[in-house]
Structure 1
Amino acid sequence: MRSLLGALLCVLAVAPQANAHTRPVENLDAATIPQLVRRMDAGTLTAVDLARAYLRRIETVDRKVRSVVAVNPEALAQAAESDRRRRHGKARGPMDGIPVLLKDNIDTRAMGATAGSRALRVPPRDDAELVRRLRAAGAVVLGKTNLSEWANFRSTSSTSGWSAVGGQTNNPHVLDRNPCGSSSGSGAAVAASLAQVAVGTETDGSIVCPAGQNGVVGLKPTLGRVSGDGIVPISSWQDTAGPMARHVVDAAILLSALEGAGVDYAADLGSATVAGKRVGVWRLAGRDAEADRVVADAVDVLRRSGAEVVEVDLPYQRQVEAAEFPALVTEFKHDLERYLKTRPGAPRTVAGLIAFNEADPVELSKFGQEIFVEAAQAPPVTDPVYVEQRRTATSLARRSIDEVLAAHRLDVIMAPTNGPAWRTGYGDGDAFELGSSTPAAVSGYPNATVPAGFAGPLPIGVSFMAGHGADATVLRFAAAFEQAAHARRAPGYLASSTP
């Protein structure tokens, strides 16, 4: 990857500027897509300029973060084509010329899709549907990001951000802290300004947790909003791709492109307000003192902004959690083996993956594959025990949100996204103490997280959840909170933090 990136930068160094009046983006961290588009329309910035800036940051900054596993050899050509369209008045919309990184479980012909596993180093046959939609929108696909191998569904003691393909991704705020999974590379890369936006995927927490711990915005959309075609699966009942960005407006613009249905989620976000709205606060208090403090501060922000805050507790959580995992194990075997049929040269079954890992010198070097072993013995999706597990998990997760929204006449529910990032280690798995992703993940409902505060140098986010199809609603609440709180800050790349 580094040799390819160096070659791209050498080509770029001798390439003529598209316009003598162009100038670089001085602060990529603060720049939003609408600001960049205005500059490109005015001729003071080109898509090639922007791609060059991000490629150079990947070359320099990612040596610390280790979030990018592949660079697109076509990135500069895509940027140049975007500039040609714009010069001829044929720009395709706000994503035209905008650099985006993709999680490496999303199929791309040019860069592969490994899900972090050496077993999937054979290239896929085609691009995923969401990649085709991004290209139709004119986006510049810069490369692929590391992830927790197999989206954290290989071992009960896996470490987020580690894969046999990409090694360990680090949290850019404090490098010995964990970026959370499984979209760890996408969250860390966006926080480190290695692309304007990135695409992650979530089954339960894998967009919102890395967004929260890396101090960026993440949206887990309503299930079905974004095509899952060409994405290495865990479960079609819960999996979805979604946007990760430094700014809510950018996440909204990216979601519009990913959905590809003519919806503009960014429309009027600048005027978003919580005034007169009712927000239920699910505090999850007592699990982490720093998260409790950040949530209390977030409640103060909402009240000062005119929202009415109601204390709530979401029911049925134990029943949902008890049914979710065994259901996912069955779905994983079924959905993954169906996907593996599209990857000639790769193992065709979970049992084949187990054998591959046992023979490989890297795959089992950090942790085992207990979930794979369990999945290999899982019943079929016609099994009545499984059918009841899925019915219980999904119906109770939906009721947990729907009933609370209705009982308190709420617009949204807010909860802490994460506690402070833990130190990365191996053998004992991740040190999760706090997470609120499960109700929205299992129900298939939207969940948007936005930076809300810090525990020392470590970011903490809050999440906004609502009912089926309420993606625009949660984005508007996230945008209004972002504008009122101004909580996000650029990472410091500290080697370590005090205990």
Structure 2
Amino acid sequence: MTAEALANVDRATEALQSVSERAPNLRALISSNENIREEAERVDRGYASLTGRVIVIKDNIDTIDLPTTCGSFALDRTARDADLVVRLRRAGVLTLGKANLSEWSHFRAPRAPRGWSARGGLTQNPFVLDRTAGGSSSGSAALVAAGVVDLAIGTETDASIVEPAAFCGVVGLKPTVGRISQDGIVPISHTMDTAGPITRTVRDAGILLDVISTTMRGEQGETAATFATSSAASARGMRVGLLSRDYWTERVPGLDEFVDAVIEVIGASGADIVDELAVPNLDILGQSGLQGLVQNSEFGPALAGYLAGRGTPGPRSLEDLIRFNNEHPELEMAHFGQEAWLACLDAPSTESAEYKDAVARIIELGGVHGLDAALRDAAADVLIAPLFGLPWKADVDGGMLCRVSWAADPLTAASTAGYPVMTVPIGSRYGLPVGMTILGTAWSERKMLAVAASIERGLDLDLRPGFLTTVPEEAPASVRDYSE
């Protein structure tokens, strides 16, 4: 096992060196583990499927041996491991380092760049270097896409695992909120936050989810099947709902071609397809502003609780962090401000009726009267759609990376309800990946893994990044110039 672990470390470090030569400004790794070889030499136990495997961890997750900064100069080291890191270490996983991210998980200002942090700079997309890698788990997805590692951990409040995974042509899984402990992870909203796997294959996503989960429950409360078992299963006998093409975009030519291929392989696996489904109440949810109210109310108290548990000197409140940024604008505010944080100072208390009503309402609109209603009306097990299209051009100084994907409304429903979301690669166009998003109800990860595995096996893709400077000239202007 030690020899295999050392070989894995050598492969990862050699791949990192190769990538740094091809893309010297990829900026996906924010800190490196200088002791990884010594740790590999001590590997002699653990979970057979992961012992000696190499991983990167998003830099908002506490690790006692590496800094945990959330991309900010306001934070440095902690004196603890997050619960999921403890589980990873017990499984014998070796940490290559911490992955860059959208600073503060893209929760400091509405006009903030995807994949940029003060400490790490702007993460590039390994497929086409002038394109966004998505956010906020940008570094995690980029390092898997670049072939440095096969395993990574990201976190998500709303699309922060599945967006970068889709944009980087890898597998991303945001679990049901509550499946994975948030202990030792920089928070935004306990109603919507969760960590999850970003991997090269569906099977690895299932194996990693087995390791980091604190509960194995399923939709009916069952706990027998592992996620690894589900990720090797098929969609036979399932009913898969294809979301209406109204959720897609006309800006990216040829999405129908990829969807048709997915429908064919899902059908060949023995599943039924239900076409043109809609998720009700998305307009009401989006226009209500309640998701923002909940996040703003929860952030300050949750952040103070997290900071108190770091066990090292540093800021202890949102006010402390706002003060730090004001005192170090050259470090922290060269590209955007902290308007979202200032709004949190005036948010309703988490003890208020306004906040409690807002939580109940977004869970109802996104879940019971949203995704659950769509699934129930079609008698479907999961919903699918290519919700992200192609990644847009990155321009940190122009503030071009501030938007959620133009077709993200069903994802917002999943976020507010705390439901799982997954993405799996389905092809590439103009050198850029295309991903298929899979949505389900609470605790339905096993179904989603089975559908994703059927897509992966049926398409049998081998997407590898080209590290292109920009998209080819034959790409239409809508793709060449697409930036938001």
> Is this a same-fold pair by TM over 0.5?
yes
Q: CA deviation at 1:124?
A: 1.1
Equivalent residue number for residue 465 of structure 1: 439
Question: What letter is aligned with 2:377?
Answer: A
Q: CA deviation at 1:342?
A: 2.2
User: Residue 248 of structure 2 is aligned with which of 271, 285, 290?
Assistant: 285
Is 1:319 equivalent to 2:284 in the alignment? yes
Q: What is the Cα deviation at residue 487 of structure 1? A: 3.6
Which AA in structure 2 matches 1:328? Answer: Q
CA positional deviation for 1:396: 1.3
Give a deviation string over 1:195-248, Cα, whole Å, max 9, x none: 120000000000000000000000000111111100000011111000000100
1:30 matched residue in structure 2: none
Residues 159-308 of structure 1 aligned to structure 2 (within 5 Å): 159-259=113-213, 264-267=226-229, 269-270=231-232, 272-283=233-244, 284-286=247-249, 288-290=251-253, 292-293=255-256, 294-308=258-272
Which digits, 9 at most, give the CA deviation of each residue in 1:382-439, with x for residues without a partner?
Answer: 1222222211111211121212212211111112241211111134342532334222
Distance 1:165 1:485 in 2: 39
> In 1, distance between residues paired with 2:17 and 2:248?
41
Measured after TM superposition, the shift of residue 64 of structure 1 is 4.1
Q: Is the 8 A contact 1:174 1:494 kept in 2?
A: yes
Aligned to 1:3: none
Structure 2: distance between partners of 1:93 and 1:318: 47
Contact persistence 2:175–2:445 (CA under 8 A): yes
Among candidates 47, 63, 81, match of residue 108 of structure 1? 63
State the identity %.
Answer: 37
Q: Which one of 323, 327, 330 corresponds to residue 359 of structure 1?
A: 327
- Counterpart of 2:303 in structure 1 is 336
Contact 1:209 1:417 survives alignment (8 Å): no
Mapped partners of 1:212, 1:417: distance in 2: 9
Q: 1:291 to 1:465 in 2, by over 3 A?
A: farther
2:350 corresponds to 1:381? yes
Q: Which letter does structure 1 place at the counterpart of 2:243?
A: W
The residue number in structure 2 matching 1:475 is 449
Q: Distance in 2 between matches of 1:264 and 1:461?
A: 25
Match of 2:240, as an amino acid? Answer: V
What residue in structure 1 maps to residue 430 of structure 2? 456
1:3-22 Cα shifts (integer Å, max 9, x gaps): xxxxxxxxxxxxxxxxxxxx
Give the 3 Å change call, closer, same or farther, for CA 379–429 of structure 1 in structure 2.
farther
Task: Number of aligned residue pairs: give it.
Answer: 449
Distance 1:411 1:320 in 2: 23
Counterpart AA for 1:333:
G
Give per-residue Cα distances to partners, 1:147-193, cap 9 Å, x unaligned: 00000001111111100010111000000100000000000011011
Q: Which residue of 2 aligns with 1:25?
A: none
8 Å contact from structure 2 (residues 72, 117) kept in 1: yes
1:428 aligned onto 2:399:
yes
| Corresponding position of 1:413 | 383
Contact 1:291 1:419 in 2 (8 A): no
Structure 2 distance, partners of 1:495, 1:485, is 27
The letter of the residue matching 2:412 is T
Cα pair 1:96 1:138 within 8 Å, conserved: yes
Q: 1:62-110 CA deviation, whole Å, 9 max, x = no partner?
A: 434210111113311221122xx2xxxx553211110010000000111
Does the alignment pair 1:309 with 2:280? no
Q: C-alpha root-mean-square deviation of aligned residues, in Å?
A: 1.9
Q: CA 1:158/1:268 → structure 2, altered by over 3 Å: closer, same or farther?
A: closer
Name the amino acid aligned to 1:295. Answer: V
**d(CA) in 1 for partners of 2:335, 2:99:** 20
Q: What one-letter code is carried by the residue in structure 1 that aligns with 2:172?
A: G
Q: What TM-score, normalized to structure 2?
A: 0.89
What's the CA shift for 1:376? 2.0
TM-score by length of 1: 0.86
What code does the residue aligned with 2:325 have? Answer: N
- 2:314 corresponds to which residue? 346
1:488: Cα distance to partner? Answer: 4.5
Give the 3-state SS of the residue equivalent to 2:228 in structure 1. coil
What is the CA-CA distance between 1:61 and the residue it aligns to?
0.8
Q: Which consecutive residues of structure 1, in runs of 5 or more, have no partner in the other structure?
A: 1-39
1:97 to 36, 42, 52: 52
Structure-2 separation of matches of 1:261 and 1:309: 31
The runs of 5 or more residues in structure 2 that have no matched partner are: 217-224, 473-479
Counterpart in 1 of 2:34? 73
Deviations 1:248-300 (A, max 9, x none): 00111111111166863112643x22333211111413454447423344234
Aligned to 2:468: 494
Q: Given residue 124 of structure 2, which amino acid in structure 1 is its aligned partner? A: N
Whether contact under 8 Å (2:88, 2:211) holds in the other structure is yes
- Partner amino acid for 2:305? R
- Residue 141 of structure 1 aligns to a residue whose secondary structure is strand
Question: What is the aligned partner in structure 1 of residue 219 from structure 2?
Answer: none
Point out the more displaced range, 152-161 or 368-377: 368-377
SS in 2 for 1:223: coil
CA contact (8 A) 1:101 1:144 kept: yes
